[in-house]
């Protein structure tokens, strides 16, 4: 994943953070699994690719799509995350390249996209349990359960990022293990010819592309936690490299088992079908294990997503983009106000349907990624000599070429958006366009206190802060 530059951070780390030696900093293994849960969390949710396009295109998609999308996004995150090792993440990337107005827009759409996405997981958690507990299928018990799960997992975030990181490691192992067992059980029943089944004239491209995109994005979300990472200039690139491998294997291997060991019935390949395959191959015990792993996976994804969303708000407050109270930390070092805002957003949005949530968060995420790609190229041009502890080779031309395939993919995903999703998403973008001037007005009139952390360089007035 590129090359390392042993130069120390100049300007960016001129002031040593008071938390630089904090034992609560994230190490490599928890960071790998936090990225894993930011992006994937296991194969739960990939079943729709088989229904949409058949086994061959589903398998090819999870091999080709990471090359087109995941690897470029992970590389950009590694370069810019080590260039700006702070919790505002992609917000400061865009802000330093395009100015604070667009930096705020990036923060708004990415935070909203993350909260919308996170609203899925309490719902999916209950969907995997309702076969054993029918009362969770709807009504007041389901509402109470959604609120209860959200509160418990929110409290886990409040207690500290180190706890969240090691919980992610534990949940990740428990989520992957039953598929390893299922793989061994399936060996006598595998029929390689089943992997080659394809019907290009009967493909739901909208469902196929949206499912691939949803399951393989959000690599940049970890950038909002870089300020909490031990030695980020070395740890972050390594963690992203290992996480890419882990994510691709966690998708491809279960699909290989499921499509090769069981006769194809495309209509059955919907959310939760892996548990049915487990029952066919191993019996009821394996089905319950897969269902339990799915529930744990949703828990892990929720806590990882909420961590990045809430630390992003803290990072924006440290940059003076949000009122100072967003930068308040709990006694555990976690962003207290950011967690409360993110949890409230999850509860308010949990009423949306699965398809609406995926489509809406994909649209907003695409908007943010366009700004991110522009910022990446712009920083190469604007600050060619800036300290980049991890740098993608190829110069400015290479940076542009790297961004072309994922940008084309974004255009395709947006083209498949429904009119309803487009209107709702554009309305959300418009709110951000109005919100930033309003916050500047509030700051000017001193109705709320805004401040920039003394630990951070002034990226808008001191160009030397980014140079050797």
How much is the pLDDT for 351? 64
Q: How many helices (H) and strands (E) does the chain have?
A: 16, 2
SS3 content of the chain, % helix, strand, coil (to 5): 75, 5, 25
Predicted structure pTM score: 0.88
pLDDT per position in the chain (468 positions), as tens? 544 443 333 333 433 444 444 556 889 999 999 999 999 888 988 999 999 999 999 999 999 999 999 999 999 999 999 999 999 999 999 999 999 999 999 999 999 998 888 887 777 777 666 766 777 777 788 788 888 888 888 998 888 888 888 888 998 999 999 999 999 999 999 999 999 999 889 999 888 988 898 899 899 999 999 999 989 999 999 999 999 999 999 999 999 999 999 999 999 998 788 989 999 999 999 999 998 898 888 888 888 899 999 999 999 999 999 999 999 999 888 999 999 998 888 887 766 665 666 677 778 889 999 999 999 999 999 999 998 999 999 999 999 999 999 999 998 888 877 787 888 888 989 999 999 999 999 999 999 999 998 888 776 655 555 554
Structure tokens at 175: 């989520």
Structure tokens at 116: 């919308």
13: helix, strand or coil = coil
CA–CA separation, 286 and 15 (whole Å): 53
Closest listed residue to residue 366, CA positions, set 405, 400, 406, 310: 406
Q: Is 260 left (phi over 0), alpha (psi -120 to 50) or beta?
A: alpha
How much is the pLDDT for 300? 87
**CA dihedral (333, 222, 29, 386) positive or negative:** negative
For residue 89, report the phi and psi dihedrals to the nearest 5 degrees. Answer: 50, -130
Structure tokens at 457: 């360089």
Residues in the chain, overall count = 468
**CA dihedral (279, 283, 284, 286) positive or negative:** negative
Closest listed residue to residue 215, CA positions, set 61, 435, 84, 371: 61
CA–CA separation, 161 and 335 (whole Å): 10
Reply yes or no on domain 28-466 having CATH 3.30.160.20.
Answer: no
For residue 141, report the phi and psi dihedrals to the nearest 5 degrees. Answer: -55, -40
């Amino acid at each position: 994943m590129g090359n390392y530059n042993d130069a120390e951070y100049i300007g960016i780390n001129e002031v040593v953070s008071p938390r630089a030696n904090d034992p609560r900093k994230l190490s490599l293994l928890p960071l790998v699994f936090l990225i894993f849960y930011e992006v994937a969390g296991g194969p739960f949710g990939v079943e729709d690719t088989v229904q949409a396009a058949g086994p061959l295109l589903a398998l090819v998609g999870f091999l080709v799509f990471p090359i087109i999308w995941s690897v470029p996004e992970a590389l950009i995150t590694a370069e810019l995350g080590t260039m700006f090792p702070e919790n505002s993440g992609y917000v400061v990337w865009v802000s330093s390249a395009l100015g604070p107005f667009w930096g705020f827009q990036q923060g708004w759409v990415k935070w909203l996209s993350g909260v919308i996405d996170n609203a899925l997981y309490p719902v999916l958690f209950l969907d995997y349990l309702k076969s054993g507990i029918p009362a969770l299928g709807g009504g007041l018990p389901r509402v109470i359960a959604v609120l209860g799960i959200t509160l418990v997992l929110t409290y886990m975030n409040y207690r500290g990022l180190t706890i969240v990181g090691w919980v992610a490691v534990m949940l990740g192992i428990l989520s992957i293990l039953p598929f390893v067992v299922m793989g061994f059980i399936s060996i006598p029943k595998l029929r390689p010819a089943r992997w080659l089944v394809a019907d290009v004239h009967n493909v739901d491209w909208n469902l196929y592309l949206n499912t691939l995109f949803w399951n393989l994005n959000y690599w940049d979300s970890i950038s909002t936690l870089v300020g909490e990472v031990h030695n980020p200039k070395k740890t972050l690139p390594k963690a992203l490299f290992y996480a890419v491998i882990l994510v691709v294997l966690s998708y491809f291997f279960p699909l290989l088992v499921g499509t090769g060991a069981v006769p194809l019935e495309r209509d059955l390949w919907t959310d939760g079908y892996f548990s049915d395959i487990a029952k066919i191959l191993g019996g009821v015990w394996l089905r319950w294990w897969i269902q339990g792993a799915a529930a744990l996976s949703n828990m892990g994804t929720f806590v990882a997503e909420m961590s990045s969303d809430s630390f992003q708000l803290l990072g924006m407050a440290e940059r003076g983009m949000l009122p100072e109270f967003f930068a308040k930390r709990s006694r555990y070092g976690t962003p207290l106000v950011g967690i409360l805002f993110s949890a409230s957003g999850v509860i308010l949005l949990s009423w949306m349907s699965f398809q609406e949530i995926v489509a809406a968060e994909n649209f907003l995420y695409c908007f943010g990624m366009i700004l991110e790609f522009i910022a990446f190229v712009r920083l190469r041009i604007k600050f060619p000599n800036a300290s980049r502890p991890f740098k993608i080779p190829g110069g400015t031309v290479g940076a542009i070429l790297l961004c072309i395939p994922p940008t084309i993919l974004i255009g395709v995903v947006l083209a498949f958006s429904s009119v309803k999703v487009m209107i709702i998403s554009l309305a959300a973008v418009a709110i951000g366009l109005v919100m930033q001037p309003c916050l500047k007005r509030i700051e000017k009139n001193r109705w709320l206190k805004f401040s920039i952390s003394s630990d951070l360089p002034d990226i808008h007035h001191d160009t030397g802060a980014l140079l050797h």
